């Protein structure tokens, strides 16, 4: 029986196997993780990871999907999308991606992988235990459809802690901060004796991650160019009304973008264009839908976020929407937009400590992992909340997977 650990993430995913008894994270796309992206060619063959992104950005005909993990726990998972003139359930699309990870692990292991420990956020759905349980059950069904016989789950920050088993100083209190594309998860640990696994005092999480920051940037800075916040006349041209905002919000949400390409939505937008006070902006929105450029627009928002980690300002060029169209974004404006989301992340970690009766001033170390932890504004927020803690940046894309693989060896013997 061969075992593995899979960190299926909103933005990136990885798989680990045991090699000579030790955890080994399988190289994907020449690195420890692969973007959680799929592209279905017109011949029906799917591409994964960076190959999927390349096919989409290079203009190949087909359907692009990303951030599908965010559908877990929501009714959209049971819905379908059109791929090559066929209705395909979103759950089947996730199965395709999980099967890709499994096959990559089997190629590295040289044998079939039958058992998996999957990482999961502390909460798939905030404040709804029933929906959270349904999300885990759906993910287990997907894993079995992908070919696994034995399936277990471990909280992602607990897995990150497992990767550090025995490496901390006795008496240390450690906060594990796992910031991914879709969630922020936390575990508080205490290293009681040298060489032993740290004791997990508690876990918490909130459904806020890197894609939420991308979304906010998209809505606040890019979508106004497409008509967001604009006005239109009513059908009798007797009064002025706000243009419904949900169109723009959904096009800025990674997992909802494929649903926006429905022909009925474009029909509605053409009616809105006829009544809009700035019809040229709605025309841009329609052009994005016609060209299936929703993910490209979201990718531009993500790229701007990354650029603003180092720059005081950045320009987003949108020539593919309209020649010469662009917007300049200042870091100060971006950080003001992202601030409420980051405050929610920090507040969730502080709530965990409060529930446990622990003092933030007594946290010795913060272990940060996950791609979103690279955002400087986030690092500042946690440094301010935990003034006496040393911040340790972990292997951003392999730590959780390593811990899941260790857990798999234990869980399945």
Percent of the chain with pLDDT over 90: 67
- 103, pLDDT greater than 90: yes
Query: pLDDT tens digits for 107-132?
Result: 999 999 999 999 999 888 877 888 88
Q: What is the pLDDT of residue 81?
A: 76
In tens, the pLDDT along 388-403 reads 999 988 777 788 999 9
What is the C-alpha to C-alpha distance for residues 59 and 39, in angstroms, rounded to an integer? 11
What is d(CA 141, CA 134) in angstroms, rounded to the nearest whole number?
Answer: 11
Share of the chain above pLDDT 70, in %: 98
Cα–Cα distance measured from residue 233 to residue 254, given in angstroms and rounded to the nearest whole number = 30
Average pLDDT, the chain: 91
pLDDT at residue 203, as a whole number: 93
pLDDT at residue 71, rounded to an integer: 82
pLDDT tens digits, one per residue of 189-239: 998 877 677 788 999 999 999 999 999 999 999 999 999 999 999 888 889
Pick the closest to residue 314 from 325, 301, 295 (CA basis): 301
At residue 321, does pLDDT exceed 90?
Answer: yes
> Model confidence over 374-393: pLDDT tens digits?
899 999 999 999 999 999 88
Least confident of 133-137, 244-248, 268-272: 133-137
- What whole-number distance in Å separates Cα of residue 168 and Cα of residue 195? 8
**What's the rounded mean pLDDT across residues 46-66?**
89
The pLDDT of residue 167: 61
In the predicted model, what is the mean pLDDT of residues 305-324?
95
Predicted structure pTM score: 0.86
pLDDT given for residue 29 in this prediction: 85
Q: Give the separation between CA 26 and CA 124, rounded to whole angstroms.
A: 26
pLDDT digits (tens, 9 = 90+) for 144-167: 999 999 999 999 988 888 876 656
Contact 132, 81 (CB under 8 A): no
- pLDDT of 165: 60
Location of structure tokens 């016989």: 149
pLDDT in tens, 365-374: 999 988 899 8
- pLDDT tops 70 at residue 337: yes
Least confident of 83-97, 98-112, 260-274, 336-350: 83-97
On the question of pLDDT at 9 being above 70, the answer is yes
Predicted pLDDT at 278: 97
Half-sphere exposure of 203 (CA within 13 A, CB side): 17
Residue range 76-90, pLDDT digits in tens? 777 777 787 888 888
Task: State how far the Cα of 351 lies from the Cα of 348, in Å rounded to an integer.
Answer: 5
Q: How far apart are CA 389 and CA 363, in angstroms?
A: 6
């Amino acid at each position: 029986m061969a075992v593995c650990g899979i960190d299926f993430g909103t933005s990136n995913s990885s798989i680990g196997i045991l090699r000579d008894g030790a955890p080994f994270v399988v190289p994907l796309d020449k690195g420890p993780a692969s973007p959680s992206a799929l592209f279905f060619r017109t011949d029906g063959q799917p591409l994964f990871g960076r190959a999927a992104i390349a096919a989409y950005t290079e203009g190949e005909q087909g359907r692009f999907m990303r951030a599908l993990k965010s559908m877990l726990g929501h009714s959209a998972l049971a819905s379908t999308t059109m791929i090559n003139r066929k209705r395909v359930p979103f759950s089947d699309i996730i199965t395709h991606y999980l099967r890709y990870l499994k096959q990559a692990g089997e190629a590295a292991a040289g044998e079939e992988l039958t058992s998996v420990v999957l990482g999961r956020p502390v909460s798939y759905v905030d404040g709804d235990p029933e929906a959270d349980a349904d999300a885990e059950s759906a993910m287990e069904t997907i894993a079995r459809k992908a070919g696994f016989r034995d399936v277990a789950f471990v909280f992602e920050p607990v897995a990150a802690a497992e990767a550090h088993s025995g490496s901390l100083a006795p008496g240390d209190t450690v906060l594990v901060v796992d910031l991914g594309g879709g969630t922020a998860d936390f575990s508080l640990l205490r290293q009681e004796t040298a060489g032993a696994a740290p004791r997990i005092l508690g876990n918490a999480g909130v459904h806020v991650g890197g894609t939420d920051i991308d979304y906010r940037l998209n809505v606040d800075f890019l979508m106004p160019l497409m008509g967001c916040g604009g006005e239109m006349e009513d059908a009798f041209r007797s009064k002025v009304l706000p243009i419904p905002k949900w169109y723009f919000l959904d096009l800025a949400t990674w997992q909802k973008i494929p649903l926006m390409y429905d022909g009925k939505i474009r029909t509605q937008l053409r009616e809105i264009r006829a009544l809009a006070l700035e019809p040229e902006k709605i025309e841009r929105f329609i052009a994005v839908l016609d060209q299936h450029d929703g993910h490209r627009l979201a990718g531009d928002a993500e790229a701007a976020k990354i650029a603003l980690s180092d720059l005081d300002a950045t320009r987003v060029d949108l020539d593919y929407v309209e020649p010469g169209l662009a917007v300049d974004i200042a870091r100060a404006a971006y950080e003001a937009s992202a601030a409420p989301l980051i405050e929610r992340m920090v507040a969730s970690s502080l709530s965990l400590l409060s529930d446990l009766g622990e003092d933030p001033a007594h946290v010795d170390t913060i272990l940060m992992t996950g791609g979103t932890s690279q955002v400087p504004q986030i690092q500042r927020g946690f440094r301010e909340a935990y003034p006496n803690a040393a911040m340790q940046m972990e292997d951003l894309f392999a730590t959780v997977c390593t811990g899941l693989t260790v857990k798999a060896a234990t869980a399945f013997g």
